[in-house]
Amino acid sequence: MEKKKGRPGGAAVVMGRYELGRLLGHGTFSKVYHARSLVSGEAVAVKVIDKEKALLAGAGMAGQIEREIAAMRLVGRHPNVVRLHEVMATRTKIYFVMDLVRGGELLARLVAVGGRLGEAPARRYFRQLVAAVDYCHSRGVYHRDLKPENLLVDDDDGGNLKAWFKVSDFGLSALRRPAGGGDGRLLHTTCGTPSYVAPEIIGNKGYDGATADVWSCGVILFLLLAGHLPFFHSNLMEMYNKITKSEFRFPDWFSLDARSLISRLLDPNPKTRITIDDIINHPWLNKGHHNPTPATSSNNFKSIEEEEEDKPANLMKPASLNAFEIISLSHGFDLSGLFCNDQIEKKQEVFVSGRTASAIVSRLEEIAEAEEFEVEKKRKKKKQSESEGMTVKMKGWREGRKGRLAVDAEILEVSPSCYVVEVKKTAGDTMEYQAFCSRGLRPSLKDVCWST
């Protein structure tokens, strides 16, 4: 249903599920409304995208919306990231139902308290920012437009800056590319907000999304402590020149540890710029902080795939037509491929082989040895008259983000000359499992099995 139904009080209802309230903000082809779920009564934000205006903005806009949805689905289970609850669509509109973040932009809060913070509140916010960015990168998502306008304060706490915030607006985000030769993983799209953009993006020679986000974090930290941007000039080219050379001055009140951290964050060489792991261990960030909280330990959060696996089946059923099936009814805006995105959906690999079971097991053992995995083989008697199967269990030695990666490969005999091999993750991080499949499993099995 495309039309919004009128309510007695004049409010509009979207798809019979959400009652729209006041307008919170708007962009070129979208508006964001305060809304209420008619099912749960929960307050949410609904972003309404005008499909016709989006198409007129250019052919790349469909891909941008796809990436925004994909990115938010990957990272939306972290407390410092705005969560995408669901996507609905009609022939003319796309609706994003998201967390309602009541306190507004962090930038507005800074202005309300005089423009800059002391080190203690700045440290509190920066810890949350680092935790969110670390989690996004672990899920293969690079934000590419980090700035205070995209950091939303979670609750209106009267301006005392003790609230949590959430990272929002993944419209310019990029997803990690598969491994490839040369600079295959580098990004080349010039995007972002000029004052916060990394020098390698300006150079237009390809850049790593993770190190570019780290630079933006450095600009944000400087702004929190100084009350002004490190790089600013009325002439855009002059400002870019300052960014490229990392020319800025520390105010007198910056501590030595703060200067040390910011200098490493705003290193113009992305190869020597500080990493997220080193930021987390830096003395300035850890001052007065002894017990990690959920906001500073992204390992405590399940991946979106694991969260969804834990949900009861009835909660996973869509209450309306699949958004992407509806959108695809209009030529030139088919987003249905999103649901086939290997990076998001694929949790199991299935192969077929005409080789013997022993040959398949032998190859799996070679893969395990190359990846430094422990191997355990188990024969599994099938029910009644079915033939035997075999399970090869592989477990990594290295500790990942969610413990050691464990993979089961079950070999099932369909006929004497045909076997099915089902490979699935049983423990560890989903993204690390997918990297294992891309890096080791599929290439090594290509002359023994074929994918299905």
> Treating both helix axes as pointing N-terminal to C-terminal, what angle do 119-138 and 60-75 enclose, rounded to 10 degrees?
110
In sequence order, what are the residues at sequence separation of 6 or more whose Cβ sits closer than 8 angstroms to the Cβ of residue 8? none
| E strand or H helix at 152 | strand 151-153
- Co-location of 261 and 120 in the same domain: yes
Give yes or no for a contact between 91 and 2, defined as CB atoms under 8 angstroms apart. Answer: yes
Cβ atoms < 10 Å from Cβ of 346: 14
CA atoms within 13 A on the CB side of 410: 13
Q: Could you give the CA distance from residue 312 to residue 323 in angstroms, rounded to a whole number?
A: 21
Quickly list H helices, 204-302: 209-226, 236-245, 256-265, 276-280, 283-286
Would you say residue 4 has pLDDT above 50? no
Which of 50, 99, 134, 145 is an active site residue? Answer: 145
Global pTM value: 0.68
- Co-location of 77 and 61 in the same domain: yes
Residue found under tokens 């609750």: 155
CATH number of the domain that residue 251 is part of: 1.10.510.10
267 a catalytic residue: no
- pLDDT of 163: 59
Domains held by the chain: number: 3
Q: What is the dihedral of CA 259, 265, 269, 270, to 10 degrees?
A: 170
Tell whether residue 47 is among the known ligand binding residues.
yes
- pLDDT of 324: 42
* Structural domain range at position 378: 346-451
- Co-location of 333 and 381 in the same domain: no
- Co-location of 175 and 272 in the same domain: yes
Residue found under tokens 């689905």: 73
- Co-location of 257 and 336 in the same domain: no
- Co-location of 335 and 360 in the same domain: no
Give yes or no for a contact between 72 and 170, defined as CB atoms under 8 angstroms apart. Answer: yes
- Co-location of 338 and 351 in the same domain: no
Mean pLDDT across the stretch 397-401? 79
- pLDDT, tens digit, 9 for 90 and up, residues 338-358: 333 444 445 678 888 878 888
Specify which residues 127 forms β-bridges with: none
Indicate the pLDDT class of residue 212, thresholds 50, 70 and 90.
very high
In sequence order, what are the residues at sequence separation of 6 or more whose Cβ sits closer than 8 angstroms to the Cβ of residue 224? 110, 116, 117, 122, 125, 126
- 87 in any annotated domain: yes
- pLDDT of 296: 40
> Treating both helix axes as pointing N-terminal to C-terminal, what angle do 256-265 and 209-226 enclose, rounded to 10 degrees?
150
- pLDDT, tens digit, 9 for 90 and up, residues 61-115: 777 888 888 899 999 889 899 999 999 888 888 999 999 988 778 888 787 777 7
DSSP conformation letters of 276-331: HHHHHT-HHHHTT--S--GGG-GGGS--HHHHHHHS-HHHHS-SSS-HHHHHTTST
Cβ atoms < 10 Å from Cβ of 45: 22
- pLDDT, tens digit, 9 for 90 and up, residues 383-395: 444 445 788 888 8
Rg (CA), the chain: 25
CATH number of the domain that residue 403 is part of: 3.30.310.80
- Co-location of 185 and 253 in the same domain: yes
